[in-house]
């Protein structure tokens, strides 16, 4: 899953919308890679406990929710999301 939006879109989004420095972007991508690696080591235990289709469905729903939340958040320090996509650049102030 790292080859999708996380590798190609997330760094650009973090830089333009959140004005994140490169070391923060690298830390987030490294954290995602580490999480994927740790989850992969436990995949056999998960498939023994849960049905494979259930795992795929849960992963799809969680991934979709995460991407939707990121798309609607204006700033990472915001306590909640506005519910509307941000239409201003990284240096501009909200209306």
Cβ contacts of 94 within 8 Å, gap of 6 or more? 74, 86, 88
Rounded Cα distance between 36 and 61, Å, is: 16
- Is 89 contained in some domain? no
CA 11 from centre of chain: 10
28-83 confidence digits (pLDDT tens): 989 988 988 998 899 899 899 999 999 999 989 988 898 788 777 755 544 445 44
Per-residue burial over 78-91, b = 16 or more CB atoms within 10 Å of its CB, e = otherwise: eeeeeeeebeeeee
Q: What is the pLDDT of residue 8?
A: 83
Q: What is the pLDDT of residue 78?
A: 46
Higher pLDDT, 67 or 11: 11
How many structural domains compose the chain? Answer: 1
| Structural domain harbouring 39 | 2-72
- Is 45 contained in some domain? yes
- Is 13 contained in some domain? yes
Q: What is the pLDDT of residue 5?
A: 73
Higher pLDDT, 13 or 53: 53
- Is 37 contained in some domain? yes
**Contact between residue 34 and residue 28 where contact means Cβ atoms under 8 Å apart:** no
Higher pLDDT, 6 or 58: 58
**Contact between residue 63 and residue 70 where contact means Cβ atoms under 8 Å apart:** no
Q: What is the pLDDT of residue 79?
A: 42
């Amino acid at each position: 899953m790292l080859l999708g939006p996380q590798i190609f879109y997330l760094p650009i989004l973090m830089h333009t919308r959140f004005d994140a420095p490169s070391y923060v972007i690298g830390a987030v991508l490294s954290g995602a890679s580490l999480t994927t690696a740790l989850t992969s080591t436990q995949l056999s235990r998960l498939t023994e406990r849960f049905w494979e289709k259930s795992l795929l469905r849960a992963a799809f729903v969680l991934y979709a929710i995460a991407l939707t939340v990121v798309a609607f958040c204006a700033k990472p320090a915001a306590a909640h999301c506005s519910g509307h996509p941000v239409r201003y650049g990284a240096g501009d102030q909200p209306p």
